[in-house]
Structure 1
Amino acid sequence: MKITDFAILFVIIFFPLFWLSGLHTDEQSQASSLQISYTTALRTASQDAGQVMSTNEQQQYEAGYSSEKFFRADKELALQTFLNTLYLNFGIRGDESAQQNLLYYIPAIVVIDYDGYYIYATENYIGADGSSNARHTWHPKKPYAYSDAQGNSIQFTLDHTVHVTEANTGEVLDGQAEQLANETDIALLDQMDTFEQVRRTAIVSSIQKDLAYYINKHNEYASRYGISYTFTLPTISQEEWNNSINDIGILSFLQGIPTGSGYYNNYALGGGRLVKKTSWLGTVDPNSGIKYAYPNGCKLPAPAQDLFTDAKEAAKSGYFLRDCRNPLIH
């Protein structure tokens, strides 16, 4: 067989493989770009919502009036701001049909208030024609409740203010845990290190449990609209959970949007008094193959592959930090 015959045979056999590989690479690149766009939109919407949550009209609800963390979260304003920013970044502002379709991919939003939390999730309702329909709605506020082994009831807040009910006497007390320790026999109030650990665990566990329930429940409604994706509560690190209950805030979820051969699944936290951070984009230098991260807004040498909340997160993921002028950041 001539060399030219071998060359032709090689092309016939391997060209389809190279072509398919190229298609897969392009698909991965497009999916990665979509993932970053969606994450940017979700985080921006959550940050905007978090910033307006602490807007209070009455002085007694302003932080510092009775506690450093005593804000009353304006959940309606937060939701409106979140959705407005999200619709804007998705390019569907003014398109009610597209907005409704996007809501199908938002299984839950939780607003973390000073003394409890609200969950915005889907529920059934009966329409005017008697048919069963689904819509997003606020569910009743749930306090940060806890009961000890003796049956004493404690309602926590985002600081050390508590509302307690003694099991033996039925006496109800309100105030700082340290001060109430001398007025009640509730052992937890005497041990502040244990109190803080139990407080955080109780708050996080309650929110996790309810979120898991409502997100799983969302599957029933999503299937009505042809969404085959299975909604579940994503894994959230303990550090992020702890950050979420340091102050009032909003925790939002966006899941199930097709991105190439996969699906988008993420969440974002917006705090009432969080300082807005610059996000970082991770990419790979096309010449050296080295992973670099740049502040969002910089011109990148190659398409972005990852999005990070800050420089520390990018560095922990193995990226070298650079600024917009490209020198390494030391």
Structure 2
Amino acid sequence: MKITNLAILFVCIFLPFMLVLDMRTRDQETVLQLEVQYSAALRTAIQDAGKVLNMNELQEYEAAYESDKFFKVNKELALDTFFRTLYLNFGVENDPIGQGTLASYIPVIGITDYDGYYLYTMTEYTDTTGQTIARPMWRPKKPYAYSDSRGNTINFTLDSYVYAYDADQREWIQGYREDLAGETSIPLLNDTANFDTVRRSTIVRSMQEDFAYFINAYNEYATRYGISYTFKLPEISQEEWTNTISDIGIMAFIQGMPVGHQTYNNYAFGGGRLVKKTNIIGAIDPQTGIKYYYKARCSFPYDPEENFDNAKDAAAAGYFPKECVNE
């Protein structure tokens, strides 16, 4: 066989493989680019939603004085902000059909509140005509609940404040664990070493179980949208779960979105902690005439003269620092 014939035969055999390999390489490059783009869009949407969680129109809903973790989360504003940013970054802000398609790949959104958590997921209900309707909506807040073998019940929060039922005393009590210690027969509230470990594990386990359940249940509805992907809770490290319960926050999952010949699956967590300015009081010691400044939570027998946002401004006004005796 002539060398030219061999060359032609070689090209005929290997050219299709080379073309397929080239197509797959380009497809993989496109997939990687889209995954980076989608991940950035998801993170941005979650971050924007987290920033508005603590925005409330009423003063009594702002952070409590005793705890910097107590907020009444604005879940409706956070949800609206999440989807608005997500639609914008995916280029479907003016495309209702595209928005619906994108939302169908989000099986659940969760918000951690101070004393419980909310899940936004597909829910069935019966309307006034008796027809069964299924649509995404908020489920009732679920408390961070714990119970022991003695019949005691504790509803945890994101800090050490608890709402508890003392089975021996047959009464409900509430307060910070450190204040209730020794005043109740509930073993965990008297256990300084293990309280926080049990609190965190209870919160994380409850959220994990509910997320897994509702993501799995979403498969029934996904088929109605023509999605063949099997939704399930992704592997998330325990450290990442624990970090989500340090403050109020929001989390979202995207799964089964077609990207080339593959599917895009990801999740994102966003915090909503508000860093409050420290209120500084400037006052004059009536006995010495010396001007002092101190934090508003301190207690001194002085008549306040001025208020400042920070210690630097107070010092510039001629006040000297005075530390709280109870700090």
Q: Shorter-chain TM-score category?
A: 0.7 to 0.9
State the match for 2:294 in structure 1.
none
Matched, 1:228 2:228: yes
Deviates more, 1:24-33 or 1:53-62: 53-62
State the match for 1:156 in structure 2.
156
Whether the 8 Å contact between 2:251 and 2:269 is mirrored in structure 1 is yes
Whether the 8 Å contact between 1:45 and 1:85 is mirrored in structure 2 is yes
Q: Which structure: larger Rg?
A: 2
State the match for 2:22 in structure 1.
22
Name the SS of the counterpart of 2:182 in structure 1.
coil
Name the SS of the counterpart of 1:56 in structure 2.
coil
Whether the 8 Å contact between 1:119 and 1:139 is mirrored in structure 2 is yes
**Distance in 2, Cα, partners of 1:20 & 1:177:** 65
Give the direction of change, closer, same or farther, for the CA distance of 1:129–1:6 in structure 2 (3 Å limit): farther
**Distance in 1, Cα, partners of 2:218 & 2:127:** 19
State the match for 1:120 in structure 2.
120
Give the direction of change, closer, same or farther, for the CA distance of 1:59–1:65 in structure 2 (3 Å limit): farther
Whether the 8 Å contact between 1:153 and 1:166 is mirrored in structure 2 is yes
Matched, 1:251 2:251: yes
State the match for 1:58 in structure 2.
58
Instruction: Give the C-alpha shift of residue 110 in structure 1.
Output: 0.4
Instruction: Give the C-alpha shift of residue 3 in structure 1.
Output: 2.3
Name the SS of the counterpart of 1:144 in structure 2.
strand
State the match for 2:175 in structure 1.
175
Whether the 8 Å contact between 1:46 and 1:269 is mirrored in structure 2 is yes
State the match for 2:138 in structure 1.
138
* Structure 2: 5+ residue stretches without partners: 276-327
Name the SS of the counterpart of 1:67 in structure 2.
coil
Deviates more, 1:105-114 or 1:57-66: 57-66
Instruction: Give the C-alpha shift of residue 30 in structure 1.
Output: 1.1
Name the SS of the counterpart of 2:119 in structure 1.
strand
Instruction: Give the C-alpha shift of residue 77 in structure 1.
Output: 0.5
| 1:1-330 correspondence runs (5 A) | 1-63=1-63, 65-126=65-126, 131-273=131-273
TM-score normalised to the size of structure 2? 0.80
**Amino acid in structure 2 at the alignment position of 1:142:** K
Name the SS of the counterpart of 2:134 in structure 1.
strand
Give the direction of change, closer, same or farther, for the CA distance of 1:127–1:34 in structure 2 (3 Å limit): farther
**Distance in 2, Cα, partners of 1:129 & 1:259:** 41
Instruction: Give the C-alpha shift of residue 127 in structure 1.
Output: 5.9
| Two-structure CA RMSD over aligned residues (Å) | 1.7
**Distance in 2, Cα, partners of 1:128 & 1:103:** 26
**Distance in 1, Cα, partners of 2:274 & 2:62:** 16
Name the SS of the counterpart of 2:233 in structure 1.
coil
**Distance in 1, Cα, partners of 2:195 & 2:164:** 13
Whether the 8 Å contact between 1:59 and 1:65 is mirrored in structure 2 is no
Give runs of ≥4 in structure 1 deviating > 6 Å: none
**Distance in 1, Cα, partners of 2:104 & 2:274:** 28
TM-score normalised to the size of structure 1? 0.80
Name the SS of the counterpart of 1:263 in structure 2.
strand
State the match for 2:302 in structure 1.
none
Deviates more, 1:61-70 or 1:194-203: 61-70
**Distance in 1, Cα, partners of 2:74 & 2:194:** 31
**Distance in 2, Cα, partners of 1:102 & 1:179:** 48
Instruction: Give the C-alpha shift of residue 131 in structure 1.
Output: 4.8
Residues matched between the structures, number: 275
Whether the 8 Å contact between 2:181 and 2:189 is mirrored in structure 1 is yes
Deviates more, 1:134-143 or 1:26-35: 26-35
Higher relative contact order (CA 8 A, sep 6+): 1
**Distance in 2, Cα, partners of 1:149 & 1:229:** 41
Name the SS of the counterpart of 2:269 in structure 1.
strand
**Distance in 2, Cα, partners of 1:116 & 1:271:** 15
**Amino acid in structure 1 at the alignment position of 2:157:** T
